[in-house]
């Protein structure tokens, strides 16, 4: 008596189950005459045929005329000259509007400033966002609303009627970059003379720099905001050095709430500096 055949292994059982399934579906012939080895290396590609040399143009054929060169556009006035010629904030805004930059083509409104000029604190951010672009004012979106609440906690309000309780706010760039991307080095360099002139015309006593772009540009350093924040620096302006305090941008705080502790420490540092500046000098002996 013959012994029964051995039971198929797991792999063979799976193959048999697949064959039975195909038979149940009605498969009665294979598509290829030979099995296909899918693990084999692909055949080498045939070499491309040699390129034929282009036919020489007929001697009688006339050469196409080259298009006439476009006249050179007159160069825009230097940014530094435009900025220096502005003798008021209104004139500075008009000068910025004259700057030839691709940013104007994708933005809706020029975003100049908000708050009270002449307030002891001037805040400088990086670039407008979508809400700022629509309204033409800096820091009016979600991050701006957070900034307003933060500054209110130390007694500052952009709508305050008295200079001591107010602040003045602007950005490095007056136009929104497409897609809210970061400003490029070339864009920052183009508008930096206008920012420095803006500071001179607004006459603040302290400057709060929000974000790495504004801090590195105005402090002329390559250090990042992580190393710069939390201590006072000197900003070299037209009217001499000004105390400048870098801090996190409120948009960064929305993404990293744990960093709000650092920003609160920076605001307390600013408040102490403002209070110390308001105290009368001790009498001379």
Q: What is the pLDDT of residues 46-76, one digit of tens each?
A: 666 666 655 555 544 444 444 443 333 333 4
- For 14-29, how does the pLDDT look when each residue is reduced to its tens digit (9 = 90+)? 777 777 766 766 665 5
Burial 15-34 (b: 16+ CB within 10 A, else e): eeeeeeeeeeeeeeeeeeee
Taking the alpha carbons at both ends of the chain, their separation in whole angstroms is 128
Rounded distance between C-alpha atoms, residue 226 and residue 43, angstroms: 56
Are 201 and 88 in contact, with CB atoms under 8 Å apart? yes
Instruction: Classify domain 79-277 at the CATH superfamily level.
Output: Uracil-DNA glycosylase-like domain (3.40.470.10)
pLDDT tens over the chain, length 285 residues = 566 666 667 777 777 777 776 676 666 556 555 666 656 666 676 666 666 655 555 544 444 444 443 333 333 457 899 999 999 999 999 999 999 999 999 999 999 999 999 999 999 999 999 999 999 999 999 999 999 999 999 999 999 999 999 999 999 999 999 999 999 999 999 999 999 999 999 999 999 999 999 999 999 999 999 999 999 999 998 878 999 999 999 999 999 999 999 999 999 999 999 999 887 656 665
Rounded distance between C-alpha atoms, residue 103 and residue 174, angstroms: 9
Enclosing H/E stretch for 16: helix 10-25
Question: Quick check: pTM over 0.75?
Answer: no
Are 114 and 137 in contact, with CB atoms under 8 Å apart? yes
Each domain of the chain, given as residue ranges in start order, spans: 79-277
What does DSSP assign to residue 112? -
Name every residue whose Cβ is closer than 8 Å to that of residue 69 and which is 6 or more positions away in sequence.
none
Length of the chain: 285
């Amino acid at each position: 008596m013959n012994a029964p055949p051995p039971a198929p292994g797991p792999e063979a059982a799976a193959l048999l189950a697949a064959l039975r399934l195909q038979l149940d579906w009605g498969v009665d012939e294979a598509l290829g005459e030979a099995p296909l080895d899918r693990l084999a290396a692909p055949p080498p590609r045939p070499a491309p045929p040699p390129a034929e040399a282009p036919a020489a143009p007929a001697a009688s054929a006339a050469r196409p005329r080259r298009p006439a060169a476009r006249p050179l556009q007159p160069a825009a006035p230097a940014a530094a000259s435009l900025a220096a010629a502005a003798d008021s904030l209104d004139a500075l805004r008009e000068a910025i509007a004259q700057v030839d930059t691709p940013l104007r083509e994708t933005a809706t409104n020029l975003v100049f400033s908000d708050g009270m000029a002449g307030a002891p604190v001037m805040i400088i951010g990086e670039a407008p966002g979508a809400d700022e672009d629509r309204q033409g004012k800096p820091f009016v979106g979600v991050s701006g609303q957070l900034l307003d609440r933060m500054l209110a906690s130390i007694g500052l309000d952009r709508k305050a009627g008295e200079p001591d309780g107010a602040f003045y706010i602007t950005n490095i760039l007056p136009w929104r970059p497409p897609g809210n991307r970061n400003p490029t080095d070339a864009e920052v360099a183009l508008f930096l003379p206008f920012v420095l002139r803006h500071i001179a015309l607004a006459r603040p006593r302290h400057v709060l720099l929000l974000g790495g772009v504004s801090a590195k540009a105005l402090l002329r350093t390559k250090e990042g905001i992580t190393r710069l924040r939390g201590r006072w620096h000197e900003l070299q302006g037209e009217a001499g050095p000004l105390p400048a305090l870098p801090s996190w941008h409120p948009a960064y705080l929305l993404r990293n709430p744990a960093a709000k502790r650092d920003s609160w420490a920076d605001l307390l540092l600013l408040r102490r500096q403002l209070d110390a500046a308001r105290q009368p000098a001790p009498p001379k002996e």
